[in-house]
Amino acid sequence: MMQEKMQKRITVETEETTETEETTETEVTAETEEITKKTTETTEETNKNIRAVMEETISQMIEQKKQILDRMLADGYFKTAAHVSFAIAQCILAGNKVMLAGNGGSAADAQHFAGELVGRFLMERRALPAVSLCTDPSVMTCIGNDYGFDAVFERQLSGIGKKGDLLIVISTSGNSENLCRAAKLAGSMGIQTIGLLGKDGGRLKELCDCALVVPAEETPRIQEMHTFTVHLLCGGAETEIVRKTKKGQP
């Protein structure tokens, strides 16, 4: 009898313990679900805020570019670009070459420019003589090591440049010493110099025969307009060369 009572008591206590555990587990599960829900809501709200900030930033960048383009139109930038593209075409048609130089992102622009001329831009035509002075690391480091970085373009220009050639220097600040030295040498060699510049044009503005100055202060906006200008110049020069070639000129 005693044993049966003890067994019933144990059974009751076990059932109560099981019920308590189940209740506790249910409560924990509910709390976990609530935390997960709040975390998800917080994450979604955070992502929404991040997207809003990104969209606002992009809108501001687009508005900046619109304002810069308006200033370029007002300043006659694109009329000057048309004259420069014609000068590039005339240089090439006369049997001369285009040389390009820049630092950092502007070096990439110089390579891009040369590639569009030697390869093709939009029209099928002969390869055009253009060379970037930024692309040979052995030459660049050799000159930099022996003469200093300020001489890397000047030294190359003295070796491969000749009267009648055209040098295009690309700089967002217009104050790169290695480009200024190259522009000075070009003037003494009878090589016409074109500058793709930014801000106020810097020292290079006065050293170039013709300067295209993007009226902006931020480097990314200037670089974007330089890329646009590269395409304008390539398109204009290519069109003129193909037109003259079809008329039987060289």
pLDDT in tens, 144-195: 999 999 999 999 999 999 999 999 999 999 999 999 999 999 999 999 999 9
Radius of gyration of the chain (CA): 34
Query: How is the chain split into domains, by residue range?
Result: 1-75, 76-246
CATH of 76-246, one of 3.40.50.10490, 3.90.950.10, 3.40.50.720, 3.20.20.150: 3.40.50.10490
Task: Name the H helices within the chain.
Answer: 2-75, 77-93, 105-118, 137-147, 152-160, 177-189, 204-207, 219-246
What mean pLDDT is predicted for residues 119-142?
96
Q: Which residues contact 117 (CB under 8 A, 6 or more apart)?
A: 92, 98, 127, 128, 129, 130, 234, 237, 238
Q: Does residue 245 surpass a pLDDT of 90?
A: no
What's residue 248's pLDDT? 63
Q: How far apart are CA 175 and CA 197, in angstroms?
A: 9
In sequence order, the 6+-apart residues with CB closer than 8 A to the CB of 156 are 133, 139, 143
The 3-state DSSP class for residue 164 equals coil
Instruction: Please tell me whether the overall predicted TM-score, pTM, comes out greater than 0.75 for this model.
Output: yes
Output the CA–CA distances (angstroms, integers) from residue 189 to 86, 166, 182, in the order listed: 21, 11, 10
Mean pLDDT of 44-61: 84
Determine how many CB atoms are found less than 10 A away from the CB of residue 154: 24
pLDDT tens digits for range 193-213: 999 999 999 999 999 999 999
In angstroms, the CA 166 to CA 163 distance is 9
